[in-house]
Amino acid sequence: MFNQLWAKLSASERFVAYGVVAVVVGWLLGTILGSTTVGGGSYAGVNIPGVTVNYFSWGNAGLMSILALIFGIVGGVVLYLKIAPNMNITWPMPVGQILLGASALALICAVLTLLFQVTNNLSGAPALMYVADVVLIGGGALMAWGAYQGWLASKAA
Q: What φ, ψ does residue 42 adopt, rounded to 5°?
A: -120, 120
Q: Is residue 3 part of a domain?
A: no
pLDDT digits (tens, 9 = 90+) for 94-122: 888 999 999 999 999 999 998 988 887 76
Write down the pTM of the prediction.
0.85
**Which residues form the domain of 58?**
13-35+53-156
Strands 35-38 and 51-54: antiparallel
pLDDT digits (tens, 9 = 90+) for 116-157: 888 877 676 778 888 888 999 999 999 999 899 888 888 776
Q: What φ, ψ does residue 154 adopt, rounded to 5°?
A: -70, -30
pLDDT digits (tens, 9 = 90+) for 50-101: 888 787 887 888 899 999 999 999 999 999 998 888 888 888 888 889 999 9
Q: Is residue 109 part of a domain?
A: yes
Instruction: Report the number of distinct structural domains present in the chain.
Output: 1
Nearest Cα neighbor of 113 from 138, 144, 94 is 138
Q: Is residue 5 part of a domain?
A: no
Nearest Cα neighbor of 106 from 148, 150, 82, 74 is 74
Q: How far, in Å, are 57, 79, 80, 91, 131 from residue 5 at the CA level?
A: 34, 10, 8, 19, 31
